[in-house]
Structures are given as structure tokens and as C-alpha cells.
């Protein structure tokens, strides 16, 4: 059965705001990589992390469903004299890569734009394509934080701007992400997934990101 198609927002204002500055965890992750590693950026967007790792000589793959931005990234890489393997695709489907081939997988602020069932499928696909001993860097929303924010908003009498459609998945009712489901795992759900990993770092509510930032290494 075909899954429901959502109108994904135009992310250009997000990319503009973010610029090409990488997440603060990236340099230390980079130090853990062997030369010529294979890196996959899931939901790579304008490619700030694709560019960072391509610059350091790694073989980088990026996948995103937003064609405009992938074209821009393709041209941007060429201007910098860099290359990466970019694919237009839906990350909630089977990823177009063979199993156990990536030394590092990045999924920063991308894989939660879906329902709980599809989110689980993405995690399963990550487990399929990452190498044993491969590194994973996730940035995903934290359910606990969204509950706190919601409570504060209610106390302050602010209007509700989203609707919960299933356990830990909400849909914004307005704004650029209107209608796009957002799955926000809680710590238990996250730790359940991470059972196959050695956790190197797990943080939430840091200055640069209020969700979960996880660095982990695949065990088997």
C-alpha cells in the first residue's frame, strides 16, 4: 500500500538561518573516522555536513527528497572542487544502499518528519546499512521536551499550534511544517533502538539543540 504523501515544507528559510556551520559535535566525530571512510547523510538538505566530510576526503553519500536543494548542493560541491554521491529519495522507504557499507551515518534534524511506524522503519534501515563498528550521529526531538514546552504554553495561555495524532507523534496546525507528522521519541524508545550500539554520548537540551543528540557506535 502506498504511504500517505505529505506536503513537505520549503526548507530554504531553515537553510538560510542555519548557514553552513556544522553542528558542534561534528569535529570530534570527524576525528573518530579513519581516512577515506564512507559517510551517509540521511536527509542531508543543503549539505553542510556533506561538504564538511567531502572536504576531508571521505566518500560521502547524501539523500534528500527536496530536489531544489540537492541541485544547489551538487553545483556548490562542483564549485568547491569536491564531489559526493547525491540521491533524490524518500528516506521513509528502503534506502538505496547495500547493507553494512557506511562507517558513519548522520541523521540530523531529518528523520523525525514522519509517523512512528515510518520512523521505526528508518531506524531499521540505518541498522541495515551501517557497518559493524560504524558511527551514528542522530539529532531527533525529545518527547519529554515537547511535553514540557506544551505545559508551559498552556500555563501561559498560548494557543495550541499542534495536534497529537498518535503516541509521541504530533502534526503542526500552522506554519511551514503544517500537516507534516513529527515523531518525537522518548528516552525509553531511543534506548530500545540503541541496544545494538555502544553509546558514546547522549545529550538533550543543549544550547544548540533542544532534542536528543546521540553519538553511538554499532556493535554488531
Ligand X SMILES: C[S@@+](CC[C@H](N)C(=O)[O-])C[C@H]1O[C@@H](n2cnc3c(N)ncnc32)[C@H](O)[C@@H]1O
The site for ligand X (CB under 6 A) is made up of 8, 11, 14, 18, 43-45, 48, 64-66, 90-92, 108-110, 113
For the bound state, the minimum distance from the C-beta of residue 156 to ligand X, rounded and expressed in Å, comes to 26
Distance CA(144)–CA(205), nearest Å, equals 10
Closest to ligand X by CB, 175 vs 219, is 175
Closest to ligand X by CB, 107 vs 190, is 107
Closest to ligand X by CB, 28 vs 132, is 28
For the bound state, the minimum distance from the C-beta of residue 43 to ligand X, rounded and expressed in Å, comes to 3
Closest to ligand X by CB, 88 vs 219, is 88
For the bound state, the minimum distance from the C-beta of residue 157 to ligand X, rounded and expressed in Å, comes to 29
Distance CA(117)–CA(120), nearest Å, equals 5
For the bound state, the minimum distance from the C-beta of residue 104 to ligand X, rounded and expressed in Å, comes to 14
Contact 39, 103 (CB under 8 A): yes
For the bound state, the minimum distance from the C-beta of residue 50 to ligand X, rounded and expressed in Å, comes to 9
Angle at CA of residue 211, ends 102 and 45, nearest 5°: 50
Closest to ligand X by CB, 12 vs 101, is 12
Contact 190, 197 (CB under 8 A): no
Q: List, in order, residues 6 or more apart from 190 with CB less than 8 Å away.
A: 140, 202, 212, 214
Dihedral angle, C-alpha 6, 10, 14, 20, nearest 10 °: 110
Q: Please give the residue whose beta carbon sits closest to ligand X in the complex.
A: 45
Longest CA–CA span in the chain (Å) reads 53
- The percent helix, strand, coil of the chain (3-state, each to 5) is 30, 30, 40
Amino acid at each position: 500500500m502506498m504511504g500517505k504523501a505529505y506536503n513537505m515544507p520549503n526548507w530554504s528559510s531553515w537553510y538560510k538561518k542555519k548557514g553552513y556551520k556544522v553542528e558542534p559535535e561534528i569535529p570530534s566525530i570527524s576525528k573518530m573516522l579513519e581516512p577515506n571512510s564512507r559517510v551517509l547523510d540521511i536527509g542531508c538538505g543543503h549539505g553542510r555536513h556533506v561538504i564538511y566530510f567531502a572536504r576531508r576526503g571521505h566518500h560521502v553519500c547524501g539523500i534528500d527528497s527536496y530536489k531544489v536543494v540537492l541541485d544547489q548542493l551538487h553545483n556548490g560541491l562542483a564549485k568547491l572542487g569536491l564531489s559526493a554521491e547525491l540521491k533524490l529519495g524518500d528516506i521513509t522507504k528502503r534506502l538505496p544502499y547495500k547493507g553494512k557499507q557506511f562507517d558513519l551515518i548522520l541523521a540530523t534534524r531529518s528523520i523525525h518528519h514522519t509517523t512512528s511506524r515510518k520512523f521505526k522503519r528508518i531506524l531499521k534501515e540505518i541498522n541495515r546499512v551501517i557497518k559493524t563498528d560504524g558511527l551514528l550521529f542522530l539529532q531527533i526531538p525529545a518527547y519529554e521536551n515537547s511535553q514540557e514546552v506544551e505545559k508551559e504554553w498552556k500555563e501561559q495561555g498560548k494557543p495550541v499550534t499542534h495536534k497529537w495524532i498518535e503516541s509521541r507523534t504530533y502534526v503542526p496546525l500552522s506554519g511551514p511544517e503544517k500537516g507534516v507528522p513529527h515523531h518525537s521519541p522518548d528516552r525509553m524508545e531511543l534506548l530500545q533502538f540503541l541496544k545494538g550500539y555502544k553509546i558514546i554520548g547522549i545529550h538533550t537540551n543543549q544550547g544548540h539543540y533542544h532534542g536528543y543528540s546521540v553519538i553511538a557506535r554499532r556493535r554488531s
